[in-house]
Amino acid sequence: MKSRSFWQFYAAPLVVMLLAYVLPMATGMAGVRAQRPQALQMREEMLKRVGASAPIAAAAGNIRAGRHVRAGLIVFFWNFGVGALAMSTLVGVIFFALPPLVAVGRGVMLGLLYDPATFEGVRGLVAAGTGLLELPTYMIAGALGMRCGLAWLLPPRRERIREAWEHVKVTLPAVALLLLLAAAWEVGGLALVGPRP
């Protein structure tokens, strides 16, 4: 079996991942904008959870203390280790359908937490740049997980696993680099405008 190019390998799973993020995100945003009580209640609960999240609190504390490199490393290791590697790629290796389910959950969360005021001024530029770097990267990591999970199931199995491994060796370092850039962008921007209290 001939190894497929990046686009041949990733096209179908990337479309699945894109839809798994965008449709729930749009639904969540519509619920918040329409002031639906259930959406607003879910939003408040998520804001509390996000604010109490240990990595977010640690990164914000380090930014406030002027330890920007440490804050950037916290953001990077959380986003890469947990967000991309564990929750997007490795879950797909276990079962190929899990990355889109994780993406649906993230999409709902992002849609509910979306605040149009976030996208104004410098803070908006920081948020938009972070999203543009992180979301496609998570989609690629999830698509890789889906392909790796399918490699175990579809014949010719040995060739598909070998092909998936070749893509892992190229894709994971690229995912790490993009998330490192996203962490630097986010922490650098928040250092300028200050994290939310």
Secondary structure of residue 94 in the 3-state scheme: helix
- Check: CB of residue 52 under 8 Å from CB of residue 60: no
Paired tokens of 14:
């990337």
Q: Are 75 and 130 in contact (CB under 8 A)?
A: no
Distances (CA, A) of 117 to 52, 124, 133: 22, 8, 20
pLDDT at position 79 = 95
| Domain presence at residue 91 | yes
- pTM for this predicted structure: 0.89
Handedness of CA 12, 89, 133, 4 (dihedral sign): negative
Classify residue 4: in a domain, yes or no. Answer: no
Residue 101, domain member (yes or no) = yes
Total domains in the chain come to 1
In a domain, 1, yes or no: no
Q: How confident is the model at residue 95 (pLDDT cuts 50, 70, 90)?
A: very high
pLDDT > 60? residue 25: yes
Rounded Cα distance between 147 and 145, Å, is 5
**Is 159 inside a domain boundary?**
yes
pLDDT tens figures, 122-144:
777 888 888 899 999 999 999 99
Asked if 28 contacts 110 with a C-beta cutoff of 8 angstroms, the reply is yes
**Which residues span the domain enclosing 152?**
10-193
